[in-house]
């Protein structure tokens, strides 16, 4: 089968023929129709993080398609089902995290397109217990970004604790941020969107942002403090240390700063301001299967619409170059249709 493969960190991906995965007990084979390109895939291909992915690697954790084979022991998924294979490829199901609705913290988890091969290929195998069905209302291309960008930002907004009628700031209006703005509005929040790209701020406005600010032109935390007295929560999806610092500064007393973006850097936190302001700083990693089902329901109901540009798998290196340059509005989805 055809796949885009990382053979070495920081090198171009090779479009090459590899074997179709063999499925075992409890697994299914998915014929991939589309796969969103997340900035995490770029971090994986560059070996950016302390824990490295396997090599060679087929990236992709927004792979969606049709089930073509089911392994022994699989009872709730059948051939022909439309499913997506998210970042949480599998978890142990037995540890304190799995048992308490925090499966994304499982220490034995496997991750699609990182510790196991993902969706940048014609076929991908999956653990039947961790795939989620795609609602009929959504095309494959529309659904793909919900499997990471959607569920991740929906969950981060829940974690922020921001209530309807309160303010949230979304730092970074890329693949994640453009859906974050929509989930926040659908959840009744007032939204300030922050990005360096004017076209991204324009998109944020079209998607319902109440205020937008460009840190290249104005200090975002001062802009936000002047208009909202500080946001109740900030969700940082930008791949940039200054954005994390500005987000921290833009939160009002008692507010929450949710870290989502994963630049390989440290974030200096002023202890005094954190203590006196009662500020919470919290990391949020993707979402559970339940979060994902809910995130898909928002999309199926038309409350969240992924803004997508479809490109063939063969264009992946150009897509990564554009991602590095901040030259993508919304999400690029790789098509694997015949």
Applying CB under 6 A, which residues contact ligand 8ID?
Answer: 38-40, 43, 148, 152, 171-177, 194-197, 200, 215, 237-240, 242-243, 260-263, 284-286, 323, 326, 328
- What is the chain's length? 338
Distance CA 233, CA 210 (A): 15
Distance CA 57, CA 257 (A): 33
Q: How far is the CB of 80 from ligand 8ID (least distance, A)?
A: 29
The dihedrals phi and psi of 55, each to the nearest 5 degrees, come to -135, 145
Q: How far is the CB of 282 from ligand 8ID (least distance, A)?
A: 11
Helix axes 316-324, 39-46, angle to 10 degrees: 100
Distance CA 1, CA 123 (A): 7
* 58 vs 148 by CB, closer to ligand 8ID: 148
Distance CA 51, CA 72 (A): 32
Q: How far is the CB of 190 from Zn ion (least distance, A)?
A: 26
> Among Zn ion, ligand 8ID, none, what does residue 98 contact (CB within 5–8 Å per kind)?
none
* 64 vs 74 by CB, closer to ligand 8ID: 64
258 SS3 class: strand
In the complex, the residues that contact Zn ion under the rule CB under 5 A are 38, 40, 148
* 95 vs 196 by CB, closer to ligand 8ID: 196
* 190 vs 237 by CB, closer to ligand 8ID: 237
> Among ligand 8ID, Zn ion, none, what does residue 84 contact (CB within 5–8 Å per kind)?
none
Q: How far is the CB of 233 from ligand 8ID (least distance, A)?
A: 15
* 40 vs 228 by CB, closer to Zn ion: 40
Q: How far is the CB of 118 from ligand 8ID (least distance, A)?
A: 13
245 SS3 class: helix
Ramachandran region of residue 117, left (φ > 0), alpha (ψ -120 to 50) or beta?
A: beta
């Amino acid at each position: 089968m055809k796949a885009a493969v990382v053979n070495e960190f920081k090198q171009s991906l090779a479009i090459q023929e590899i074997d179709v995965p063999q499925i075992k007990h409890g697994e299914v084979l998915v014929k991939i129709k589309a796969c969103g390109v997340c900035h995490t895939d770029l971090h994986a291909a560059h070996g950016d993080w302390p824990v490295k992915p396997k090599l060679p690697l087929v990236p992709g954790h927004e792979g969606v398609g049709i089930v073509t084979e089911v392994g022994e022991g699989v009872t709730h998924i059948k051939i022909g089902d439309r499913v997506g294979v998210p970042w949480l490829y599998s978890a142990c199901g037995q540890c304190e995290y799995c048992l308490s609705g925090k499966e994304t913290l499982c220490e034995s988890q496997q991750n699609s397109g990182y510790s196991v091969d993902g969706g940048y290929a014609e076929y991908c195998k999956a653990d039947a217990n961790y795939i989620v069905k795609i609602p009929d209302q959504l095309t494959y291309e529309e659904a793909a970004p919900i499997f990471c960008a959607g569920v991740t930002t929906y969950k981060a907004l829940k974690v922020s604790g921001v209530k309807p009628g309160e303010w949230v700031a979304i730092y970074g209006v890329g693949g994640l941020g453009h859906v974050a703005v929509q989930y926040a509005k659908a959840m009744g929040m007032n939204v300030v969107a922050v990005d360096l790209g004017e076209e991204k701020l324009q998109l944020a406005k079209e998607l319902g942002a109440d205020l937008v600010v460009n840190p290249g032109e104005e200090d975002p935390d001062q802009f936000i403090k002047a208009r909202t007295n500080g946001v109740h929560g900030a969700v940082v999806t930008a791949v940039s240390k200054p954005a994390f610092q500005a987000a921290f500064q833009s939160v009002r007393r008692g507010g929450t700063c949710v870290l989502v973006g994963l630049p390989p850097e440290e974030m200096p936190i002023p202890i005094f301001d954190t203590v006196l302001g009662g500020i919470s700083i919290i990391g949020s990693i993707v979402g559970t299967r339940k979060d994902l089902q809910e995130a898909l329901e928002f999309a199926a109901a038309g409350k969240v619409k992924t803004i997508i540009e479809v490109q063939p798998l063969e264009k992946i290196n150009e897509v990564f170059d554009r991602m590095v340059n901040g030259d993508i509005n919304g999400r690029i989805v790789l098509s694997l249709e015949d």
